[in-house]
Chains A and B, each alone.
Chain A
Amino acid sequence: MSLLKHVWRAPLSAQFGLLMILLYVLVAVFAPVLAPFGETQVVGGGFEPWGGQFLLGTDNLGRDMFSRLVYGARNTLGIAFLTTVLAFLLGGSCGLIAAIKGGWVDQGLSRVVDILMAIPQLIFALLILSVVGTTATSLVLVIALLDATRVFRLSRAVAMNVVVQDFVEAARLRGEGLCWLVTREVLPNAAAPLIAEFGLRFCFVFLFISALSFLGLGIQPPTADWGSMVRDNAVLITFGDISPLLPALAVALITVSVNFVVDWMLHKSSGLKEC
Chain B
Amino acid sequence: MTTTKPLLEIRDLHIEGHYEDAWHPLIKGIDLTLQRGEVLGLIGESGAGKSTLGLSAMGYTRDGCRITGGSVHFDGIDLLNAKPEALRKLRGLRIAYVAQSAAASFNPAHRLIDQHVETAVKNGGMSRDQAMREAVELYRVLRLPNPETIGQRYPHQLSGGQLQRVMTAMAMACHPDLIIFDEPTTALDVTTQIEVLAAIRDAVATYGSAAIYISHDLAVVAQMADRIMVLRHGKLVEEAETRKMLGDPQEDYTKSLWAVRSFRTEPKASPQQEQPLLELRNSFASYGRQPVLHDVSLKLYRGQTLAVIGESGSGKSSTARLITGLLPPTYGEVLYDGQPLPADFRQRSKEQLRRIQMIYQIPDTALNPRQRIVDIIGRPLTFYLGLKGKAMRARVAELLEMIELDPATFMERQPRELSGGQKQRICIARALAADPQLIICDEVTSALDQLVAEGVLKLLNRIQQQLGVAYLFITHDVATVRAIADEVLVMQRGRVVDHGSRSQIFTPPHQDYTGLLFSSEPQMDPDWLDRLLATRACTPSTDTLEKV
| Chain A residues at the B interface, C-beta cutoff of 8 Å | 165-167, 169-176, 184-185, 188-189, 273
Given contacts A172-B345, A173-B326, A175-B353, contact A189 B383 (CB under 8 A): no
Q: B369 near A: Cβ within 8 Å? A: yes
Given contacts A169-B326, A273-B64, contact A175 B366 (CB under 8 A): no
8 interchain residue pairs of minimum CB distance? A188-B370, A166-B366, A166-B360, A165-B365, A167-B368, A175-B353, A166-B365, A175-B350
Q: Which residues of A contact B369 (CB under 8 A)?
A: 189
Asked if residues B366 and A174 are in contact (CB atoms below 8 Å), the reply is no
Report B360-381 residues with CB < 8 Å from chain A CB: 360, 362, 365-371, 379-380
Asked if residues B18 and A173 are in contact (CB atoms below 8 Å), the reply is no
Q: Which residues of B contact A172 (CB under 8 A)?
A: 345
| Chain B residues at the A interface, C-beta cutoff of 8 Å | 18, 63-64, 324-326, 345, 348, 350, 353, 358, 360, 362, 365-371, 379-380, 383-384, 430, 434
Select from chain A the residue with minimum beta-carbon distance to B350. Answer: A175
Q: Which of B325, B366, B384 contacts A167 (CB 8 A)?
A: B366
Given contacts A166-B360, A273-B63, contact A173 B368 (CB under 8 A): no
Select from chain A the residue with minimum beta-carbon distance to B384. Answer: A174
Q: Which residues of A contact B63 (CB under 8 A)?
A: 273
Select from chain A the residue with minimum beta-carbon distance to B351. Answer: A175
Select from chain B the residue with minimum beta-carbon distance to A187. Answer: B370
CA gap between A166 and B444 in the complex, in Å: 13
Distance from B442 Cβ to chain A, minimum over Cβ atoms (Å): 9
Q: Which residues of A contact B325 (CB under 8 A)?
A: 173
Asked if residues A174 and B379 are in contact (CB atoms below 8 Å), the reply is yes
CA gap between A175 and B383 in the complex, in Å: 9
CA gap between A231 and B489 in the complex, in Å: 79
Q: Which residues of A contact B430 (CB under 8 A)?
A: 170
Given contacts A166-B365, A166-B366, A273-B63, contact A173 B383 (CB under 8 A): no
Asked if residues B370 and A176 are in contact (CB atoms below 8 Å), the reply is no
Asked if residues A166 and B324 are in contact (CB atoms below 8 Å), the reply is no
- 11 CB contacts below 8 A, A to B, read A166-B365, A167-B367, A167-B368, A173-B324, A173-B325, A174-B353, A174-B379, A175-B345, A175-B353, A188-B371, A273-B63
Q: Which residues of B contact A175 (CB under 8 A)?
A: 345, 348, 350, 353, 383
CA gap between A262 and B362 in the complex, in Å: 33
Extra A-B contacts (13), CB below 8 Å, given A173-B353, A175-B353: A166-B362, A166-B366, A167-B366, A167-B367, A170-B366, A173-B345, A173-B358, A174-B434, A175-B345, A175-B350, A184-B371, A185-B368, A188-B371
CA gap between A171 and B360 in the complex, in Å: 13
Q: Which residues of B contact A165 (CB under 8 A)?
A: 365-366
Q: Which residues of A contact B350 (CB under 8 A)?
A: 175
Q: Which residues of B contact A166 (CB under 8 A)?
A: 360, 362, 365-366
CA gap between A173 and B325 in the complex, in Å: 8
Select from chain B the residue with minimum beta-carbon distance to A175. Answer: B353
Given contacts A165-B365, A273-B64, contact A174 B380 (CB under 8 A): yes
Q: Which residues of B contact A169 (CB under 8 A)?
A: 326
Distance from B399 Cβ to chain A, minimum over Cβ atoms (Å): 16
Asked if residues B353 and A167 are in contact (CB atoms below 8 Å), the reply is no
Most buried by A among B350, B366, B384: B366
CA gap between A171 and B370 in the complex, in Å: 14
